[in-house]
Structure 1
Amino acid sequence: MADEEVVEEEPDIVHVGSGESESGLSPIEPAKPIAPTKYDVRPSLGEKFQKENVWEIIVLTMSEQLSGRQYRADEAPKWAKSISNAVRQRVQELDMKRYKILVQTTIVEMKGAGIKSVQRCIWDPETDSYADDLYRNDSICCYTVVYGTYMY
């Protein structure tokens, strides 16, 4: 059996209409123009983060939600969530295409102590931005910040 080897033959491939000339070279096809890209790397001027409009939404929403209220520890988390959701919804209605909107609201009681807050984020300063505002009355201090990061 070792003497009997099976040899498989490759089928003959015939190219029909390959466009080869008698010399065996194919003709050069003219270069096609490059199509414009189908993705946006940067927002156009009118599509950038609308910082002034977002700031107005923050101020309006916080004053609507907190005016006339006194600080209550059991209600503060609900108020913060309500403000964040309302701001996010109103900012999304501005229809800033391809922007991811992040909203953070902090409510603390005014007792005369100071507060410091630091936030860090890696972003593109040409496309990404934020808007923030602070609301105060005699018993409540509320800080809301909205980040707009462009999704490439």
Structure 2
Amino acid sequence: MADEEDVLDEEAEVGPEGSETALTPVEADKPLAPPKYEVRPGLGEKFQAQNVRDIILSTMQEQLMGRQYRADQAPRWARAIANGVRQRVQELEMKRYKIIVQCTILEMKGAGIKCGQRCIWDPETDDYIDDMFKNDTIFCYTIAYGVYMY
């Protein structure tokens, strides 16, 4: 009796044409799904330099307008400017861009300053924008980098 049940179970696995359905090969003529890996930003999705410049300038003016340089407050102002610019730039929703912001605040005493920067990046996708703010006692230089994450 037990042997007859085993035979019936085996017959249930066999398809109507006598071939086993569990071992059918994968259909080769199905089209593959398009790749989801983005190597470059799409048209209109690149770093929005002019919008970022406006954000940098307005953030510096909000924080520093009407202030006099104070050595004890300058680090806090620089941190507030850098964080404010980064948050507002991220609200532009430039997808897959890593935003890096650097802010430097110096006291104006008549001396000059020279600064430089170097980065290794993809010039087709990555970009930066900078701006400065000056009044009688404060010089502020802020730069924002947009690096596309592959």
Q: Normalising by the residue count of structure 2, what TM-score does the alignment of the two structures yield?
A: 0.81
Q: Distance in 2 between matches of 1:45 and 1:130?
A: 18
How much does 1:132 deviate?
Answer: 0.6
Name 1:64's counterpart in structure 2.
Answer: 62
Q: Distance in 2 between matches of 1:37 and 1:133?
A: 39
Name 1:91's counterpart in structure 2.
Answer: 89
Q: Match for 1:92: what amino acid? A: Q
Coordinate RMSD, CA, aligned: 1.8
Does 2:104 align with 1:106?
A: yes
The residue correspondences of 1:2-151 to structure 2 (distance < 5 A) are: 17=20, 30-151=28-149
Deviation string 1:91-143 (CA, Å, 9 cap, x unpaired) is 00000000000000000000111111111111101100111101000000000
Q: Secondary structure at the match of 1:41?
A: coil
Q: Distance in 2 between matches of 1:86 and 1:72?
A: 20
Q: Normalising by the residue count of structure 1, what TM-score does the alignment of the two structures yield?
A: 0.80
Q: Match for 1:60: what amino acid? A: S
Q: 5+ residue gaps in structure 2?
A: 1-18
How much does 1:31 deviate?
Answer: 4.1
Q: Match for 1:132: what amino acid? A: D
More helix by share: 2
Q: Match for 2:145: what amino acid? A: Y
Q: Match for 2:134: what amino acid? A: R
Q: 5+ residue gaps in structure 1?
A: 1-15, 20-26
